């Protein structure tokens, strides 16, 4: 008997491992798992609690009213036209990404190194040929038009569809693309007629609020994923959305609805009702977004400064709540301690200092490159949201994170 070779997603298994560590009563610095520290606004929680009687299955594509709200919301937030016919709702973006991968038959899939943990396994399960696009610390882990062009050329003329996945602000790097960078990439994408999954799940947590959607530059073949997991602090509610191009081929649309109908059926009805209230870009939501951005920007800047003081290489974050740490300046002393891969590094670091990071390998990095992702979410998000002058209290809120960085620094040096 044979079974599909799929192991548990790296981030989720790390969460279980650190939970065990904590159950054993050991001091833990939770930098491994990237869950929003902020609760959804009270109004949205109330909308959910009032919707418990909604027990029906909805349309596979999602409630028509919700699709309209999402279209209007992102039209306003991202300033490009979207009709509700372009929107599909599902229980999280993960199944949407999975189904997009399956809607393409035998495509050439291109993933930047580094990129989020699940794209590669999903592409492999769908039977696609995977090509990685190298990036560098010096190039801020960004895909350049040259590297994209070379990767596309390397894949050769196969006649298959080309599907590129971009994610910004990015997990695991916390960095984003400027409009000019996206325009330069679009040049290459357009010349190659390539499809793009633009995973913009952290768009609304761009620390400056200046996210530019690729769909506003390359509307003809960009499929945007977004949802409530990050900006609304509701990952476990499971609500994601896919925004398709305005002229999406009928066959692609039908395949996505068909795949949805054969897998998840629909997002849960009460969650969709609560999402109606979340996808209202009104003053409440604007205040909620603005506060999260200020808090994440302040903590991100502080954490970056402290990490630099340890001697690690790391870029100042621009969005979301991640940093990709480059331990390569410590390669020699680490090798003397018998550490030559990122996995080994993360295991020893956890065992010896209680600091939980996720190895860069999970994101497609070479294990010997000695990179690891840090999520800076181990703080009281609910309290921080209530703190009007947060900037003056950042050290207090970030105390546990700073303690963890000190433990990391001590372990390193």
| Residue ranges in contact with ligand PMP by CB under 6 A | 34, 92-94, 116, 167, 171, 199, 201, 227, 229, 235, 240
Q: Are the C-beta atoms of residues 224 and 213 closer than 8 Å to each other?
A: yes
Alpha carbons 361 and 36: distance in angstroms, whole number:
23
Min separation Cβ 239 and ligand PMP, Å:
7
- Please provide the distance, in angstroms rounded to a whole number, between the alpha carbons at the two ends of the chain: 50
Of 310 and 319, CB closest to ligand PMP: 319
Q: Are the C-beta atoms of residues 309 and 402 closer than 8 Å to each other?
A: no
Q: What are the distances in angstroms from CA 364 to CA 58, 132, 231, 291, 313?
A: 37, 8, 25, 33, 19
Nearest residue by C-beta to ligand PMP?
92
Of 10 and 394, CB closest to ligand PMP: 10
Of 372 and 394, CB closest to ligand PMP: 372
Min separation Cβ 234 and ligand PMP, Å:
9
Q: What are the distances in angstroms from CA 162 to CA 120, 221, 270?
A: 15, 11, 37
Question: Virtual CA dihedral for 32, 210, 248, 129, nearest 10 degrees?
Answer: -40
Strand, helix or coil at 355? strand
Q: Is 253 exposed, middle or buried (0-12, 13-18, 19+ CB in 10 A)?
A: middle
Min separation Cβ 306 and ligand PMP, Å:
24
Of 90 and 295, CB closest to ligand PMP: 90
Of 198 and 310, CB closest to ligand PMP: 198
Of 240 and 310, CB closest to ligand PMP: 240
């Amino acid at each position: 008997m044979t079974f599909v070779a799929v192991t548990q997603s790296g981030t989720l298994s790390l969460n279980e491992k650190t939970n065990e560590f904590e159950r054993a009563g050991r001091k833990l610095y939770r930098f491994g798992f990237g869950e929003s520290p902020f609760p959804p606004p009270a109004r949205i929680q109330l909308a959910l609690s009032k919707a418990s009687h909604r027990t029906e299955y909805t349309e596979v594509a999602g409630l028509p009213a919700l699709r309209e709200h999402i279209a209007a919301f992102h039209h306003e937030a991202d300033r490009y036209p979207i009709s509700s016919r372009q929107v599909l709702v599902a229980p999280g973006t993960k199944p949407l990404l999975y189904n997009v991968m399956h809607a393409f038959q035998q495509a050439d899939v291109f993933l930047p190194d580094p990129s989020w943990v699940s794209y590669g396994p999903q592409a492999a399960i769908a039977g696609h040929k995977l090509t990685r696009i190298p990036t560098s610390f010096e190039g801020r882990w960004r895909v350049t038009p040259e590297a994209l062009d070379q990767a596309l050329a390397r894949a050769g003329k196969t006649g298959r569809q080309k599907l590129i996945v971009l994610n910004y602000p990015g997990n695991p790097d916390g960095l984003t693309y400027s409009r000019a960078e996206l325009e330069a990439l679009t040049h290459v994408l357009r010349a190659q007629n390539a499809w793009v999954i633009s995973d913009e799940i952290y768009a609304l947590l761009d620390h400056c609020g200046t996210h530019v959607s690729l769909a506003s530059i390359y509307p003809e073949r960009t499929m945007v994923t977004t949802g409530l997991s990050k900006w609304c602090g509701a990952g476990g509610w499971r609500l994601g959305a896919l925004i398709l191009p305005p002229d999406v081929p009928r066959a692609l649309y039908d395949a996505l609805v068909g795949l949805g109908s054969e897998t998840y059926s629909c997002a849960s009805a009460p969650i969709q009702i609560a999402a109606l209230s979340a996808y209202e870009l009104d003053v409440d939501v604007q205040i909620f977004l603005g506060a999260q951005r200020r808090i994440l920007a302040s903590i991100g800047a502080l954490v970056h400064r402290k990490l630099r003081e340890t001697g690690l290489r790391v870029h100042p974050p621009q969005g979301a709540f991640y940093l990709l740490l480059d331990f390569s300046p410590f390669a020699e002393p680490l090798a003397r301690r018998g550490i030559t891969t990122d996995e080994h590094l993360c295991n020893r670091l956890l065992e010896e200092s209680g600091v939980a990071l996720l190895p860069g390998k999970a994101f497609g990095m070479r294990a010997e490159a000695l990179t690891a992702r840090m999520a800076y979410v181990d703080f009281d998000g609910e309290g921080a949201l209530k703190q009007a002058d947060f900037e003056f209290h950042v050290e207090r809120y970030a105390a546990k994170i700073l303690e963890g960085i000190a433990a990391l620094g001590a372990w390193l040096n």
